[in-house]
Structure 1
Amino acid sequence: MRTANHLIGTLNFLTFLLSIPILGGGIWLSSRANNTDCMKFLQWPLIIIGVSIMVVSLAGFAGACYRNTVLMWFYLFAMFFIIAALLGFVIFAYAVTAKGSGRSLLNRGYKDYYLDDYSGWLKDRVMDPSYWSKISSCIRDSKVCGKMGRTYGGMPESEAMFDSRKLNSIESGCCKPPTECAYVYQNETTWNPGSQQVVSNQDCTNWSNDQGQLCYSCNSCKAGVLASLRKSWRKVSVINIVVLIILVITYVVGCAAFRNNRRIDNDEPYGEARMTKEQPSRIQL
């Protein structure tokens, strides 16, 4: 019985440790939301799940140490729903980021991003005018485009150097015009119209050299945000899948240990009663 209690306590301590990477993933998404991705509601489900696992595992740990059946039942029921919620979040994260990526360009280190390459709930969310107003304002305030400038030996970056850079999706989608617009490079965030202007892409007319405007109203900027979100969610989802598998194994072992513990507890009164009856007969003999 003590072994079973120790096992349950150890498993609950393990689940407490597993809540740390989940909570860390939520906090990381929160930092990305404030600085890069600018979608400030996506991290909360993970943070809530991580905190819930911490609280429930502590309750289960206390229940195992003090042999409190109520706390143990609370742990088993609550952890079941938490695992289901984490599974649902992982499925949701992969479903909304299943489609979309940047398009590689000839003789360019960066990629261009097009809104038509994305679909689903996340795209609709980003395209919503009220949300995009907040997202674009966040990108502008982060000054990500203003930080793109580079100098080499006191000289500004040349066009060839810029073309070889591996820009992230926000820099490529929001801080410069799409490559097909054939703008002429002046510096990282200043581009002049070329002789062969493409008018089929609305972003070509949305581009502005005004450092407060740039391509923040472009579809390429929205696509860049979606690409950044996809990359962030996929990184966190890999961690969540590993943690989920370990949580399920731990939960199944914990259920088996708890059931065995209850069976031993139920057998104890019978064993004690039997010993009480046998003891007087042995004394009489």
Structure 2
Amino acid sequence: MKAINPDDFRADHKFSIKHAPTQVDLGLTDEHKKDALKEVSKELSKQQDKMYANNRYSVLVVLQGMDTSGKDSLIREVFKNFNARGVNVFSFKQPTSAELEHDYLWRHYIALPEKGKFAVFNRSHYENVLVTRVHPEYLLKENLPGIEDVKDIPKDFWQMRYEQINHFEKHITQNGMIVLKFFLHLGKEEQRQRLLRRLEKKSHNWKFSPGDLDEREVWEKYQEYYEDMIQNTSHNHAPWYAIPCDDKKAARLMVASIILEEIKKYDFREPEVDEKVLDNIHLYENKLKSEK
């Protein structure tokens, strides 16, 4: 198996979406990818248990990608070995009327993980510099001061949002949250094939939305804004990783392996056992064993 080095997928201010691959050969069969993922997932679960006992850190995993990039299945397969108490998944769709009464980061802030736990954002606060940038009319629902019409959006508006997001992520990482962000990079032809499968396979018809085809019409805009987003918001404290995802099984293994390698850099020491407990551990053991 080709070693998965997180640095190979790190995307920074020089990131070019045109030069980023959507396919990578790990030198594994599909069955071997599944077996490897199972082992990595088990190790991730052990790390989360240690992190829970340590109670100093939490992990936020952000997943962004075009429709059909495999976010749902990735979450299911990567975190399937976790204790249910150890991970929470949030799928952010169009904001509700109640959420629109707050600033755009509010609903994401209240979903952040407690110490010792993982949270996975299936789509995230980055929708607010992607979807709303492709469709600026959505901004009008936020009732922002001074913006009554799309033409009122200032030229520096998106740069301002990048700065707000950077401050938000800097704040949470300074308070013990490990932030890892994954852009699932899907090829346009692969998306076409996946959408066709949704139409051709009756059991998958429910996944298809005519809106998916509308969004394909603005594919190039999304590519441009994904690139700009990553260039402006990838930092050492909250890095972006560009994951080739034309091969779903490979993508799952890469994401899981990168998460594991990154969190292993932290020293999740379990709390020391009270000396009284250690001194009397055999006494407690014998007492329990002697019960009838």
Question: What range describes the TM-score normalised by the shorter chain of this pair?
Answer: under 0.3
- Greater RCO (CA < 8 Å, at least 6 residues apart): 2
> Under a length normalisation based on structure 1, what TM-score does the superposition of the two structures give?
0.25
Q: Between Structure 1 and Structure 2, which shows a larger proportion of strand residues?
A: 2
> Under a length normalisation based on structure 2, what TM-score does the superposition of the two structures give?
0.24
Q: Between Structure 1 and Structure 2, which shows a larger proportion of helix residues?
A: 1
